[in-house]
Amino acid sequence: MRALPFLLAAAAALGGCAHATAPALRGAGDDATIVGGSHAAEIDGQRDIVVTLANPVVPPGAHAASNILGYGIGSGYRNGQRAMSVLAELKQRYALREIAGWPIVPLGVYCAVLRPAPGVDRDVLLEALSRDERVRIAEPLHEYDLYARPSAAAVRYNDPYVGLQHGLADIDAASAQRTSRGKGVDVALVDTGVDLAHPDLKGRIRGTYNLVDGDAAAFNADRHGTEIAGVIAAVGDNHEGIVGVAPEATLSVYKACWHSAAPAYARCNTFTLAKALAAIVDAGPRIVNLSLGGPPDPLLEQLLEALLRQDRIVVAAMPPSGRVEGFPAATSGVIVVRSAQAEAAPAGVVDAPGTDILTTQPNGRYDFASGSSLAAAHVSGIAALLLALSPELDADGVRRILRRSAAGGGNGLVNAAAAVAALSAPGPGRARASTAP
């Protein structure tokens, strides 16, 4: 068989505490078995597959050298011998080449990205693997899009721009910020990288985890993540540009997506998103912003359900189709956000500003962008305002407050000031805190 290129990037490893405040960009770590290569963007989404196998492991005691994922080889975890033997048998029987593999401890599985031999029909192979009793999941390596685009009339300015932030005004965020600014709340941003040197994001980035590659320059030059970061948590009162919905919240940036040759377009895949979600399961952010989406994916859905069971508040962007479908929007418990439109939103979906939103851009710049990605970021910001006031709030409580405080009796635009006021309002309008242990 002709040799194929070896591809893929390792996950981020963080020395010391999983909640370190240093925003140092992290590169490849030791939590994954990497079979050569260095760049997740080079995975062949049209050929590669994802397979998971039972992999029971016993975690070691925590210690200062544990990494962010909590199951790196350096922290004492080892790939189960049974899983490794089964994987070797599968590779031989089905003529598969392993591109990368890593244990996902929260799910008790070993996950491998595999490449079929040339000429093999991928659908036929997946059907055969799905019937193999040793395999838990066999699926294509799916690709996902980020739901944002530059506005048609994009303009770059040179002075403070709060007066141009119609999204901030539309949700009455300035009034809400008299009571809460999101202090002490960390939001997990699963996206591209972020411009860490941007003057409106300095001090707002708690940690950075690169699950795509080791390219720090590309991380800082990524547009989409920088846009979402600015909407959520751009610094206020610093004489620079704009202010975020929750200007005292912090962001933990998990780069699972990357920009292609066209900088306005970005993508992710099953591998990188699974790495990010597994990392967050073992980390502390209560809010998870997913301004992205694509086809259903059983592995990603299991990881997302694990987060929801931990009472994380997951905010997802509405797909461009206008239907609640695919990953992550269709997962029960996720708060789905649509870019506000004239007609009422579908049941269970909330509206937020998503058209011509002025926000941060790489290289210290500002520009307009549109899409449900930006709408989701507004809602993540409001969730941070609420949790800063009432940390015991659960996801259902946040969802009820968002809908009841929206204009038009729950069928209109979310309102940050009304949501914050609802926390202190007596009677049935007040959301209940979680009673779960």
331-378: per-residue pLDDT in tens? 999 999 999 887 888 888 999 999 999 999 999 999 999 999 999 999
Q: Is 198 a catalytic residue?
A: no
Residues 6+ apart with CB under 8 A from 28: 9, 10, 11, 13, 34, 38, 214
Domain extent at residue 84: 25-141
Looking at the structure, tell me whether residues 163 and 254 fall in a common domain: yes
Q: Say yes or no: 151 and 291 in one domain.
A: yes
Tell whether 431 is covered by a domain. no
Burial (CB count <10 Å: 0-12, 13-18, 19+), residue 38: middle
Considering 141, 159, 177, which residue would you say is the last residue of a domain? 141
User: How many domains is the chain built from?
Assistant: 2
Q: How confident is the model at residue 411 (pLDDT cuts 50, 70, 90)?
A: low
10 Å Cβ neighbour count for 96?
21
**120/184 same-domain check:** no
Query: Residue 260 — very low, low, confident or very high, per pLDDT cuts 50/70/90?
Result: confident
Helix axes 372-389, 223-233, angle to 10 degrees: 40
Distance CA 319, CA 337 (A): 9
Encoded tokens for 324: 């609640």
Q: Are residues 201 and 105 in the same domain?
A: no
85 is catalytic: no
Residue 16 lies in a domain: no
Average pLDDT over the chain reads 81
Question: 286 with 222: CB under 8 angstroms?
Answer: no
Domain containing residue 399: CATH number: 3.40.50.200
The answer to whether the beta carbons of residues 318 and 372 sit under 8 Å apart is yes
Query: Are 58 and 150 found together in one domain?
Result: no
* Peptide bond connecting 328 to the previous residue in cis, omega within 30 degrees of 0: yes
Q: Is residue 9 part of a domain?
A: no
69 in the same domain as 155: no
Reduced to 3 states (helix: H, G, I; strand: E, B; else coil), residue 417 is: helix
CA triplet 178, 181, 185: central angle to 5 degrees? 155
Task: Indicate if 373 belongs to the active site.
Answer: yes
Output the pTM of the full model: 0.80
Output 174 or 262, whichever has higher pLDDT: 174
pLDDT at 287 over 90: yes
Minimal CA–CA distance to 252: which of 12, 10, 23? 23
Given 48, 186, 191, 200, which residue is catalytic? 191
Report whether 162 contacts 168 (CB < 8 A).
yes
Question: Catalytic one among 180, 291, 373, 405?
Answer: 373
Whether residue 360 is contained in a domain is answered as yes
Q: Specify whether 126 is located in the same domain as 173.
A: no
Are 132 and 246 found together in one domain?
no
> Letter for the amino acid at 392?
E
User: Does any domain span residue 234?
Assistant: yes
Rounded to 10 deg, the angle between the 122-131 and 81-94 helix axes is 140
Alpha-carbon 368 to chain mean position = 22
Structure tokens at 218: 């590309």
Choosing from 142, 224, 259, 378, the catalytic residue is 224
Domain's final residue, options 95, 113, 141: 141
Q: Is residue 203 a contact partner of residue 234, using CB atoms and an 8 Å limit?
A: no
